[in-house]
Amino acid sequence: MQEERKRILKMLEDGMITSQEAEELLDSIKYAEDVQENAGTEEEPQHLSTKVKWDEKQEQKSYHSGSTKKRFMDFVEETIKKVKNVDFDLNFGQYYEVSHIFQNQGVSFSKVAMDIANGSIELKPWQEDDVRIECNAKVYQVNNQEEARERFMEQKQYHVDDESLSFSISSKKIKTNVILYIPEKSYKHMSLRLFNGQMKSHGFHIEDLQAKTANGKVEFENMSGNAWDIETSNGSITLKDVRLNEVEVESLNGSITLDGEFEKVDTQGVNGSLKCNWRGDKGHTGFFKTTAGSISVTLPKEVAVDGELKTSMGSINCNLPDFEIREEKSEVLRKELRFRSKGEQAKPLHLEAEAKTGSITIN
């Protein structure tokens, strides 16, 4: 099962699983090999326990049919799905569905604040001067449809005036998927908060953005702004085709993918890979750091780079066309590379990348 071992190590390097989960998977391989070795001519089927407890309700699983290798590969696939599926469904039992639309005409606010305990947030631009909030909710622990609607209306907080819009539902026992339609224009400030759920948007210019979710992915596309701060505890973060002056991104468990024009990037992860396709010639500072995952940064060819790369257990690959090595270390548990590449601008882009168990690649 050498291929399975390689696959697990690759999953660890890419941040798909934690070091503890990798250890348990490798233990499962060893156990599977023992099962095959000791099976002999016994007619009774052997049982392979995964030994992984994904949540309190799920019991340990055993596999009773098929080859040991197939059973283990099925387990690996299940592991990947469990790790990726971080938008948890907080199920409190029976529920009733409630749909409601809030709409105001002729609005001109420049600030938005949304705070949803359980659900999702999607922002959509449109050509109208109105605001429209479409809510589809599951209300738990109520006895009938009427009580569900009353509970939803009691828990929601909604206000809009000429300066700002705010909408919130603080109860985790109401799972609300919200689609917010607001005029397509520039906004000074937005605050988007979720405890459980994903958020996404496209097509806006937001000067200052704070987006945070505890469990869920974040996706923003074709957007621009000044200073953004994006954070998730369990989930991936994807910024595609964006134009930002400064962006700070953090994910504890999940990958981070950045694509766009930046001046300054500060990216941190614990269990997850970091990928950045840095375009344009305005960049001056980039920080990339992850514990269990790889780092890959692609830079414009014309940009000069002053770089410092560090990894404990991975490899360092600098594929820039013309660079000078200033300092290099290649020890068993520590690799470092300080370099400077030539470019057209006078002041080079300062780049720092550090990984513990993953590789670092600069293109």
3-state secondary structure 244-297: EEEEEEEEEECCEEEEEEEEEEEEEEEECCEEEEEECCCCCEEEEEEEECCEEE
pLDDT > 90? residue 138: yes
Q: What is the pLDDT of residues 329-350, one digit of tens each?
A: 888 788 999 999 877 667 899 9
Residue 160 φ then ψ, to 5°? -145, 135
pLDDT > 70? residue 37: no
Given pLDDT bands bounded at 50, 70 and 90, which one contains residue 28? low
DSSP code at position 30: H
Rounded CA-CA distance 192/253 in Å is: 20
The residue among 192 and 27 whose pLDDT is bigger is: 192
Rounded CA-CA distance 113/192 in Å is: 6
Q: What is the pLDDT of residues 81-110, one digit of tens each?
A: 444 444 445 556 789 999 999 999 999 999
Q: What is the pLDDT of residue 59?
A: 36
pTM of the model: 0.76
Residue 11 tokens read as 């999953």
Rounded CA-CA distance 360/296 in Å is: 6
Q: What is the pLDDT of residue 227?
A: 98
Closest CA to 117 of 96, 144, 90, 86: 90
Q: What is the pLDDT of residue 8?
A: 73
Q: What is the pLDDT of residue 57?
A: 39
Residue 11 φ then ψ, to 5°? -60, -40
Percent of the chain whose pLDDT exceeds 90? 65
Q: What is the pLDDT of residue 342?
A: 79
Tell me which H or E stretch contains 350.
strand 349-355
pLDDT > 60? residue 123: yes
The residue among 25 and 330 whose pLDDT is bigger is: 330
Q: How far apart are the first and last CA of the chain?
A: 34
Q: What is the pLDDT of residue 360?
A: 96
Sole residue written with tokens 């409601």: 100
Count, residues in the chain: 363
Q: What is the pLDDT of residue 332?
A: 76
Q: Per-domain residue ranges for the chain? A: 2-84
The residues with which 237 forms a beta bridge, in sequence order, are 218, 256
pLDDT > 50? residue 52: no
Neighbouring CB atoms inside 10 A of 10's CB total 11
Percent of the chain whose pLDDT exceeds 70? 76
DSSP code at position 60: P
C-beta of residue 21 within 8 angstroms of C-beta of residue 75: no
Rounded CA-CA distance 252/258 in Å is: 16
Lowest mean per-residue pLDDT among 67-81, 156-170, 175-189: 67-81
Pairing label, strands 237-253, 218-221: parallel
Please state the separation of Cα 105 from the chain's center in Å: 35
Q: What is the pLDDT of residue 301?
A: 87
